[in-house]
Amino acid sequence: MTQTHKMGVTDQVTLTQFIIEQQRGLPEASGTFTLLLNNIVTACKQISHLVNRGALVGVLGSAETENVQGEVQKKLDVITNDIMVKALDWGGHLGGMASEENDDPIQIPKQYPKGKYLVLFDPLDGSSNIDINLTVGTIFSVLRCREGVEPEPEDFLRKGSEQVCAGFVVYGPSTMLVLTTGHGVNGFTLDQDIGEFILTHRNMRIPEDTSEFAINMSNQRFWEPPVKRYIDECVAGKDGPRGKNFNMRWIASLAADVYRILNRGGVFLYPYDIRDPERPGRLRLMYEANPMAFIIEQAGGACTTGKERILDIKPHDIHQRVPLIFGAKNEVERIISYYQQP
C-alpha cells in the first residue's frame, strides 16, 4: 500500500521538478515533453476550478448536443474539451490531438509549429456524475508521432504498448493527478493555495490479491459465462469456492474507480456484453482503456478484455470500444483462466 504523510514545505516535490529529475539521465529526455505535460496540467487545474465552482458559474447540466458516440453532451463535456484543446495547441510540441468528444483528430492551427507527440484525451470522464456532485476526471495518453508531417487519422491508431506517458486527474475531495512515463506510477495532490501538484503518493502499487470487485450488476444477464462464473463465486462468499467474503464498489466514473483500486486494491469489470455485437464494450480503447492499462500495469496490476491484453490491441477505429477488466493481478489472471476454459 502507498504510504502518505504530511510533509514540511521544504520537502515538497512539485510535478515539474519530479518530471525534470526523472528525465535527467534518460537519452530521449527533452524539455518539450516537460512543456507538454505542463500544458496538460494547466488545463486540468482550470477544469478542477470549474468543477469545484459548479452551479455558481453555471456550468452544470446538458449542452443539448450529441457527441460522435450519440451521447448527450453535458455543458462541461464541451467546456473541458475546449480547455484541453486551447491549453495544448499552441506549444509546438504536438503533431495533433484526438478527443473522445470530437469526430476526427484535432489539427494544430497553422500559425503554430508542430512537434513530435500526439495527445489523446477524455476531457471529462464520468460526466454523468457531475450533476450529482460525484467525482469526475480527465484521462490522457501521449504517443510519439512522425515529425514534420500532418498526422493522418491512422497515425493515432497505435497499440497502447507504444504510449510514452499516460495519466489521469480525479476531481474529488482533493484534486489528484496520477502519472506514468513507464517508470512506475506516482500520485500528486493539487495544492490549491499555490496552484501546484505536489508529489504525495510515491510508487503506487496495486496489491496482487483483493476481496473487492466493481461491476455494473444490472447488466448481469448480458455477461458471458466466464464473467458470470467469476462474479457468482465472489458473491457466494465464505460458503463458495473462494472461501472468503467479497465486497462490491461501483462509482461509475472510470478515473475514480481506477484511483480507488490503485490505493486499496480491487478488481474492475466492464466486460463484453452480448446486447450489441457492434459495440463489444462500453469504454473507449484510445481515451480510457489504453491510458488506464499503462498505469495499472506499471503499478503491478493487470488489464485485459478477458481474451487479450489491452496494451496489445491493434486499434482499427479511434473511437472503438473494448471490454475492460483490470486490477489485482491474481484476480485478473483468474478471470483470464476462466475465459480459456472451454
Q: Of 159, 166, 175, 168, which is closest to residue 310 (Cα–Cα)?
A: 159
- 74 versus 329: smaller Cβ distance to Mn ion: 74
CB of 4 to Mn ion, least distance (A): 27
Cα distance from N-terminal residue to C-terminal residue, the chain: 36
Q: Of 34, 27, 39, which is closest to residue 91 (Cα–Cα)?
A: 39
- 165 versus 286: smaller Cβ distance to Mn ion: 286
- 175 versus 200: smaller Cβ distance to Mn ion: 175
Radius of gyration in angstroms for the set of CA atoms belonging to the chain, rounded to a whole number = 20
Q: Of 327, 295, 335, which is closest to residue 167 (Cα–Cα)?
A: 295
CB of 126 to Mn ion, least distance (A): 6
CB of 92 to Mn ion, least distance (A): 27
| Residue found under cell 460458503 | 239
CB of 123 to Mn ion, least distance (A): 6
How far apart, in whole angstroms, are the C-alpha atoms of residue 57 and residue 107?
30
C-beta atoms surrounding 238 within 10 Å: 9
Distance (Å) of CA 65 to CA 47, 58, 74, 144, 169: 20, 17, 8, 32, 25
Residues lying near Mn ion in the complex (CB under 5 A) are found at 122, 124-125
- 1 versus 68: smaller Cβ distance to Mn ion: 68
CB of 74 to Mn ion, least distance (A): 9
CB of 139 to Mn ion, least distance (A): 7
Residue nearest to Mn ion (CB): 125
One-letter amino acid for residue 242 of the chain: R
Which DSSP string corresponds to 102-146?
-SSPBPPPTTS---SEEEEEEEEETGGGGGGT--EEEEEEEEE--
- 76 versus 332: smaller Cβ distance to Mn ion: 76
- 136 versus 328: smaller Cβ distance to Mn ion: 136
